[in-house]
């Protein structure tokens, strides 16, 4: 059986009602929008390629913001669009984990 997507990216976009730390408070939504648009612009999206998805809480709030890429199950944190670009270029396009962002 083959995977429907080569890379399936899930962004934690959880917003905690109690004011506790969460990815949504650390720019995750903007990073999600940016990565989704970059992947489309680079023509990397679609069946057999890359899918960028929203996710609820991934239960690692203190390490956020974060995303996870399957099927490799690599968890990343990020600060800005430069980090997202590095994940796209290194991991998604070239199959190399970005060690400095991996958690």
Whether residue 37 is contained in a domain is answered as yes
pLDDT at 65: 93
How far separated are the first and last CA of the chain, in Å rounded? 29
- The CATH number for 64's domain is 3.40.30.10
Domain count, the chain: 1
pLDDT at 41: 98
Whether residue 33 is contained in a domain is answered as yes
Whether residue 2 is contained in a domain is answered as no
Tokens, residue 1: 């059986």
Whether residue 22 is contained in a domain is answered as yes
Burial grade of 103 (CB within 10 A; 0-12, 13-18, 19 or more)? exposed
Mean predicted confidence (pLDDT) in 67-81: 96
- pLDDT by residue (tens digit) across 12-46? 998 887 777 788 888 899 999 999 999 999 999 99
pTM above 0.85, yes or no: yes
C-alpha closest to that of 28 among 8, 45, 10: 10
Mean predicted confidence (pLDDT) in 90-97: 98
The mean predicted confidence, pLDDT, of the chain is 92
Whether residue 36 is contained in a domain is answered as yes
Whether residue 54 is contained in a domain is answered as yes
Whether residue 100 is contained in a domain is answered as no
pLDDT of residue 1 exceeding 70: no
- pLDDT by residue (tens digit) across 58-69? 888 778 799 999
Percent of the chain with pLDDT over 90: 74
Whether residue 1 is contained in a domain is answered as no
pLDDT at 81: 97
Tell me whether strands 7-12 and 66-70 are parallel, antiparallel or unpaired: antiparallel
Domain membership of residue 74 as a residue range = 7-94
């Amino acid at each position: 059986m083959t995977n429907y997507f080569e890379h399936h990216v899930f962004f934690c976009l959880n917003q905690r009602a109690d004011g506790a730390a969460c990815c949504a408070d650390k720019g995750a939504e903007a990073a999600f929008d940016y990565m989704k648009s970059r992947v489309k612009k680079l023509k990397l999206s679609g069946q057999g390629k890359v899918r960028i998805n929203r996710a609820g809480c991934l239960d690692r709030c203190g390490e956020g913001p974060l995303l996870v890429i399957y099927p490799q199950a690599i968890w990343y944190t990020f600060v800005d669009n430069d980090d997202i670009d590095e994940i796209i270029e290194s991991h998604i396009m070239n199959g190399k984990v970005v060690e400095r962002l991996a958690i």
